[in-house]
Amino acid sequence: MKSFRVRRESILALIPGVAALTLVASPALAVPCSELNLPNPIYGAGGSAITATLGRVATELAGLPEPITVLFADPGACIGYQAFLDSNVTTTFKYWDAAGTQLSCDPEVTGQQVDFAHMGNTADFCPGLTLPEGVKDYVGPIQTLNIITSVNSSESSISSEALYFAFGFGAESQAAPWTTEAGLVKRNSTSFVHLFLADSIKLSAEKFKGTQVAANQESVNAVVAAAATDPDSTLGYVSGSAADNNRGTVKTLAYQHTGQTCGYYPDSNESTLDKINVRQGLYQLWTPGHFFARVDDAGAAVNAQVASLIGWFDGSVAPPEGVDVTSIIIASGDIPSCAMQVTREGVTGPISSFAPEQPCGCRFEFAATGATECTACTEDAQCGATSPKCRFGYCEAY
């Protein structure tokens, strides 16, 4: 796993380039965030895998009687985390109003200090980075990595080995139909999805071939663009939320990991959203997300608003009345840990059984798919012997 890692200096060298790309992509008239007098601002930075989910939560928070404004810069997982550590975010922030409109503003000229970071991975998964003293890693909802192609592609599955050949050898891969490098969409070596896929398929993160883009949505857009000439040749990898939010234009390929003889979707089939194969460990491309915040000597987050935000995401703190963060997480394509039946060591480590303290699988199924075979309930007495515990409105096994 260490072999593909690059030195920290390499990451830092990339930051100005990524920053420039982001600034080019941002509205020309963006103004400093600090001059907008936004109510109760919380600043964060990190990868774009969480942006869609965070935006939906932020929309609800903006509509509270006492609004909270979440501002998030997503230059990439490791770059955003590094900027959080350095208190020096230089890329554009996204924020959302109560109508769900995504807006943007600029950091302070001297660099913006942010209150939290989010990555799909642990700190040490980023080349050369660590979790310093005074910063805590909070495990968040589970995210998937989806292998995508054009919705018009005739392909339906891909293996770990095929990904290795396609991205490792490019036009020379002989892994038809993914032999056109213009159709291979990759990320840079500091993004979570890139590092995660590289480690999963055992391909050096530095040796991917293809067209490089800077964010999950840009990967989707690039696949769609390349599909105009040859939909079968298109291949990309994005967060599950990005894939699910773009099902009209891209489709997730069933993924066959090394040691499997069949490819599986994150869901029970290509048209559902139940994430059952993630929750049971059959689909291999998933890992918990991670929030990072500064903590005091007692280990408590120094910013109370950040503590609440993270608590709403991990279920440890009740969200404001009328804001159902768990349902938003599910609707966005992520999975709260209470709906998981498996866990894994580290970011890509071995999978093992997991029994959440307060299971919410039934609630997840209903929220994600609109249906569940579980019995609805308001108290334990309404549940049968096999699922005797009423949790989150449904009878669970314990």
Partner 1 sequence: MITNKSDRSALSLLLILASSALFACGGDDPTILNAAPGSGGTGNQPSGSAGTNASAGTDAGGTSAGGTGTGGTGGGSAAACVEEPSTPEDFLVRCTDSACRPFDNAARLTLYRAGEPLPEVP
Interaction site with partner 1 (CB under 8 A): 154-159, 161-162, 164-165, 168-169, 173-176, 202-204, 207, 253-254, 256-257, 259-265, 267-270, 274, 276-277, 280-282, 284, 338-339, 341-342, 350-356, 359-362, 365, 371-374, 387, 394-398
Nearest to partner 1 of 316, 398 (CB atom): 398
Min CB(255)–partner 1 separation in Å: 9
d(CA 23, CA 214): 12
Nearest to partner 1 of 325, 395 (CB atom): 395
Residue 41: left if φ>0, alpha if ψ -120 to 50, beta else—which one? beta
Closest listed residue to residue 58, CA positions, set 46, 79, 41, 77:
41
Min CB(331)–partner 1 separation in Å: 18
Closest listed residue to residue 117, CA positions, set 19, 10, 43:
43
Min CB(211)–partner 1 separation in Å: 18
Min CB(318)–partner 1 separation in Å: 21
Sign of the CA dihedral with 311 first, then 316, 321, and 325 last: positive
What's phi and psi for 234, nearest 5 deg?
-80, 140
Nearest to partner 1 of 95, 237 (CB atom): 237
Alpha carbon distances (Å) from 345 to 78, 282, 286, 349, 351: 20, 15, 12, 4, 7
Q: 372 CB contacts (<8 Å, ≥6 apart)?
A: 362, 365, 366, 394
3-state secondary structure of 214: coil
d(CA 92, CA 33): 9
- First CA to last CA distance, the chain: 38
Nearest to partner 1 of 54, 390 (CB atom): 390
What's phi and psi for 340, nearest 5 deg?
-90, 145
Closest listed residue to residue 184, CA positions, set 143, 149, 229:
149
Min CB(158)–partner 1 separation in Å: 6
Element at 369 (helix H, strand E): helix 361-369
Nearest to partner 1 of 259, 299 (CB atom): 259
Nearest to partner 1 of 41, 393 (CB atom): 393
Min CB(267)–partner 1 separation in Å: 8
- Say if residues 351 and 342 touch (Cβ distance below 8 Å): yes
Min CB(386)–partner 1 separation in Å: 9
Min CB(339)–partner 1 separation in Å: 7
Nearest to partner 1 of 307, 330 (CB atom): 330
Min CB(65)–partner 1 separation in Å: 35
Nearest to partner 1 of 46, 210 (CB atom): 210
Class of residue 388 by CB neighbours under 10 A (exposed 0-12, middle 13-18, buried 19+)? middle
Closest listed residue to residue 258, CA positions, set 348, 168, 188:
348
Nearest to partner 1 of 48, 277 (CB atom): 277
